[in-house]
Amino acid sequence: MLETRITGRPIVDKTGLSGQFDITLEWNPDIARVPEGAGNAPALAELEARPFLFTAVREQLGLRLESDTAPIDVVVIDHVDRPSPD
> pLDDT averaged over consecutive 10-residue blocks of the chain (86 residues)?
78 89 84 53 75 90 89 91 88
CA dist list (Å): 60 to 27, 71, 72? 10, 28, 28
The length of the chain in residues reads 86
Q: What pLDDT is attached to residue 45?
A: 77
DSSP helix/strand/coil, 2: helix
CA end-to-end span of the chain? 42
Predicted local confidence at residue 39, as pLDDT? 58
